[in-house]
Amino acid sequence: MKWIAPLSLLVALAALFMALQRPPQGGETLKLGFVRTAELLAQTDLAKEAREKLDAEKASVDENLRAMQKGMTEGHETFLKEQEGLSAEARKKRIQELAKLEGDLNRYETAAVTKLRQKEQEIMQPVFEILNKRIADFAEKEGYTLIWGTLAEGNILYGTDAVDITDTLIEEVNRQK
C-alpha cells in the first residue's frame, strides 16, 4: 500500500506535464488552481452540518458503550468482592455471565463501528456529490482549466497563494445554500 502515494504523485505530475504540453483549445489561457481538501471539508457549511449529524450518531453509540462498560466493570467488582463466599458452581456461573457481558460488549462495539462507517458514507456521499458539482460550476464560471485537490499525503508539493483557491471556493460553496 505504501506505493500508492508515490504512484498518485507520478500520475498527477504526468497529467500536469501533458496538460502543459498541449496548448489549450481555441486560444484559451491555461488557468490552474488547487484546493486544500481537508480545509474545504472542515469549513463549508454543508460539510459542517454533515459532521454534526455524524457526531450525534457517534455520541449515542458512545453513551451506550459507556453504559455497557460501566455495567461490566460493576459486575467484575461485585464478583471480586463476593467470590470467596460463593460456591464453586455459583462462581463458575458468575464467570460465565461476566464473559457473556464482555462478549456482548465486544460484539456491540464491532457492530457500532461498522454501522458508523456506513452512516458516514451515507451522510457524506451527497456532500461530496454537491461539492464536486459546485467546484465544477465554479471552475467553469471562473475559467479554470484544472483544479487539484490536496489530500493528507498531498499531490501538491508546492503552490503559491495565487493558485490556492481554497478560501474563495469555501465562500462560493457556502454562498450556494
* Bridge partners, 32 (sequence order): 146
The reported pLDDT for the residue numbered 1 is 44
Q: pLDDT: is 102 or 10 the higher one?
A: 102
Angstrom distance (rounded) from CA 18 to CA 177: 36
The reported pLDDT for the residue numbered 19 is 55
pLDDT digits (tens, 9 = 90+) for 12-37: 555 655 555 555 566 667 888 888 88
The reported pLDDT for the residue numbered 26 is 60
Angstrom distance (rounded) from CA 136 to CA 120: 24
From residue 168, how far is each of 85, 157, 175 by CA, in Å? 71, 21, 11
* Residue 27 grid coordinates: 486560444
The overall longest dimension of the chain from CA atoms, in Å, is 91
Mean pLDDT across the chain: 83
The reported pLDDT for the residue numbered 159 is 67
Angstrom distance (rounded) from CA 27 to CA 29: 7
The reported pLDDT for the residue numbered 21 is 52
In the predicted structure, residue 98 carries a pLDDT above the cut 50:
yes
In the predicted structure, residue 97 carries a pLDDT above the cut 70:
yes
In the predicted structure, residue 84 carries a pLDDT above the cut 60:
yes
The reported pLDDT for the residue numbered 99 is 92
Lowest mean pLDDT among 5-19, 133-147, 148-162: 5-19
The reported pLDDT for the residue numbered 78 is 92
**Above pLDDT 90, what percent of the chain?**
40
DSSP conformation class of 146: E
Output the CA torsion sign for 94, 97, 103, 107.
negative
